[in-house]
Amino acid sequence: MISRTRIKWIKSLEMRKYRLQEKAFVAEGPKLVGELLPYSTPLYIAATKDWLDANRHLLRAVKEVDEVSQTELERASLLRTPQSVLAVMPIHERRLDISSLQKKLVIALDSVQDPGNLGTILRIADWFGIHEVLCSEGTADVYNPKCVQSCMGALARVKVFYCNLPEVLGQVEMPVFGTFLDGTDIYKEELSQQGIIVMGNEGNGISQPVAKLVNRRLYVPNYPKGSLTTESLNVAVATGIVCAEFRRR
């Protein structure tokens, strides 16, 4: 059974200020929680009997566990349709070591606002073996419930660092790629397996302070070239296309 106090605590974590205060976030559903369990010990779990019976071997280190009915889970959940298990996970603080980025392919996000886009980009990074993502201070919170759910467990493997993006880009000694309408056709440009790929804000693209530090400007052309099409690509879709082209080389 889950207490009212516990439910209130879980619900509070929907807000960023309480996530920062508690250093915790909520993950829900058997797939997502199952992805996170090997990498981090939950602070608390609420789950149905069936889920607990199947996963007790993974919960030996978890001190706070409640067996709940589906109705109780629905009262505590941040989702419209909760599934079997809810976990409150710790937020681990990370410090960026710029030297550790050298000789890697890294994604940098310049004020990506939509948590769903951020989560999808983390999932893309995970798929293409990109293990570090830099986020400007204006980028959505990676622990927002919408982001957590949409990244499908990528948080377990992809390290996310919030930073002063222009300052970091000014210190790296590697190519800095960015997508622009006046860039070079990505399918004709020489690409490397190390560097930073900058993706910009949904409405405004890459900001001017960051754009000044991009030394390899790319463009994803529409097809057929010169035809009348939609104005632009969703930032997560564009990230997927760009990462696929980098890895294809």
DSSP H helical segments within 65-132, as ranges? 70-76, 115-127
Using a pLDDT cut of 90, give the percent of the chain over it. Answer: 86
pLDDT at 230: 77
Strand pairing of 24-28 and 85-90? antiparallel
Cβ neighbors of 25 (< 8 A, separation 6 or more) are 13, 19, 88, 89, 91, 143, 145, 148
pLDDT at 211: 97
CB neighbours (10 Å) of residue 168? 20
Q: What's the pLDDT tens digit per position in 153-188?
A: 899 999 999 999 999 999 999 999 999 989 999 999
Whether residue 37 contacts residue 159, with contact meaning beta carbons closer than 8 Å, is answered with no
pLDDT at 226: 72
Cα 196 to Cα 63: distance, rounded to the nearest angstrom: 40
Q: What's the pLDDT tens digit per position in 45-64?
A: 999 999 999 998 889 899 99
pLDDT at 146: 95
> pLDDT category, 249, cuts 50, 70, 90?
confident
Query: Residue 201 phi/psi, 5° resolution?
Result: -60, 145
Mind listing the domains of the chain with CATH numbers? 4-90 (3.30.1330.30), 98-248 (3.40.1280.10)
25-51: string of b/e by CB count within 10 Å (b at 16+)?
Answer: bbbbbbebbbbbbeeeebbbbbbbeeb
Q: What is the mean pLDDT of the chain?
A: 94
